[in-house]
Amino acid sequence: MKKKVWLASIVLMLTLVLNSCVTQQKAAESVVTAVVKDSVVAVEPLKDVISIVEALDMYQYPNKVDMVTKKYGYKLKTNYEVYRLDKFSKMYYKNCVLAKILTGDMYEDYPKPMRKGISSYVAFKDGAIIIAVFNQPAYDNLVAQVKAAGFTLDMPGSEDIYTNGSRTIACYKDGKSVRIQ
């Protein structure tokens, strides 16, 4: 009988000790935070570079390409191929020098910027229009124009993908280019 009393008292003591060591934690209150969207601010497009609105218009109506590129003073090079990288049916460039030609229509690299003005090119490839600039403020202006045109960030990454439901625009920060699809 004494064994049962000792055993019961030991179990009771262990239960008390274990209960005192365990603390009850209250469930943390869930914090609700509002999703903050980028505020859309009207952006003044650069005078020397084609605007996003005009590029979207050119994408929708290909017959406007010559008129818009002529307005900005772009030069045309057809069938521009960067050796083993890209092939463009049309390459419009401004304040740029075409890369060294290797063979036929194959070039060593993309166009290179000149020191005067804002260097840029507009390339057409497989149902996409690519606008590339060579300085950060010009690229930032293009991205701000994308946001101002009503596009919202869909997938961030090395290439930020913006969408408005029907079109997508990919902004590639490292290459300072914007691709409209």
Between 5 and 52, name the one with better pLDDT: 52
Residue type for 101, please?
I
Query: What is the predicted pLDDT for the residue at 4?
Result: 60
Cα–Cα distance, 65 to 124 (Å, whole number): 10
Query: Per-residue pLDDT for 79 more than 80?
Result: yes
Distance from chain centroid for Cα 40: 17
Query: What is the predicted pLDDT for the residue at 5?
Result: 53
Among the residue ranges 26-30, 97-101, 149-153, 172-176, the one predicted with the least confidence is 26-30
Nearest partner of 119 among 140, 130, 100, 135, judged by Cα: 135
Confidence of residue 12 (pLDDT cuts 50, 70, 90): low
* DSSP E strand stretches across the chain: 75-82, 86-94, 96-97, 101-103, 106-107, 112-113, 120-125, 128-133, 152-155, 159-163, 168-172, 177-180
Q: Where are the alpha helices (DSSP H) in 61-102?
A: 65-72
pTM for this predicted structure:
0.74
HSE value, Cβ hemisphere, 13 Å, CA-based, for 96: 26
